[in-house]
Amino acid sequence: MSCPECFKGHIHQGTPRGEVTTLHGLNAYTTKPSDNVPHRGIIIIVPDAFGWEFVNNRILADHYADKGGYLVYLPDFMNGHSAPIGMLFNTKELLTTSGLKTWLMKPYYLAITMLQFIPFKYHNSFQTTWPIVRDFIKSVRENEGSELPIYAAGFCWGGKHVVNLGFGEDVASNGKPLINAGFTGHPSFLEIPSEIEKINIPISFALGDADLVVKAPQIKLIQQVFENEAKADKGEVQIYEGAGHGFCVRADLFLKDANKHAEESEKQALAWFERHPSV
């Protein structure tokens, strides 16, 4: 279901400025353009394993709102069972290989990591959470998003949900598709190429060439799907040189290239949404 790469990364500095509310039955972080201009659409973030309360994800939501002029929703699709932030430290220590003390402590970090990982896996399988994601977005489409473009941005854990939204198999009661377009950064758990071949609503992929989850051969398979004339307008792939898993949301922003990759992936998502105001 998952791998250590999905639980590695850095916590970003900043103070989210949005609001916490209850929206269509879920707790949600919501944010809008800080200059109070009318928003021109809705972005729904399907987050990584650390969920809706993770500061990095809330800061990203603020960036989308300010840079793109969107109303942004970051719901608790995991119903209170997101991975604890402490897993970032514990996974780092578990994967460290230098020093005698590190090796002596590995049984401890392995045990505590598994105690955190097993509940996350139990509560957050795709089969369990897909109806929650789908029904939330359906409610948005039938209500405040009925006359607005709706976009989905999914990261790591949330990437599979966005790809499945791209199948276009579900529609709202008003006959409209749930999303106009989607974006996913370093997705996890994908069935490649079969799920990519089912995409009918445009999805943009941000992938790192050093990602240990979606590796180079799989990236090539995704590219090949969109090189097919029948799928040419259904997706794009941008590859970030030297970027590993999690670079869109959990990169060490003190590193020049990592900061650049994170910023460029934001631009990629917003540019893709700009290109798809309707379906």
What CATH number is given to the structural domain containing 128? 3.40.50.1820
- Cis peptide bond upstream of 177, omega within 30: no
pLDDT under 70 in the chain at which residues? 1-4, 94, 279
Q: Taking every pair of C-alpha atoms in the chain, what is the biggest distance, in angstroms? A: 63
Q: How many domains does the chain have?
A: 2
**Whole-number Å distance between alpha carbons of 260 and 241:** 11
* Beta-strand relationship, 71-75 and 42-46: parallel
Residues in the chain: 279
Query: Can you give the pTM of this predicted structure?
Result: 0.93
Distances (CA, A) of 115 to 77, 107, 119, 234: 21, 12, 7, 40
* Amino acid letter, 147: E
**Structural domain harbouring 62:** 4-82+124-275
11 and 74 within one domain: yes
197 and 95 within one domain: no
96 and 50 within one domain: no
Residues 171 and 64 sit within 8 Å (Cβ to Cβ): no
- Residue among 114, 113, 91, 93 at smallest CA distance from 104: 93
**Whole-number Å distance between alpha carbons of 23 and 99:** 48
Residues 142 and 170 sit within 8 Å (Cβ to Cβ): no
* Amino acid letter, 146: S
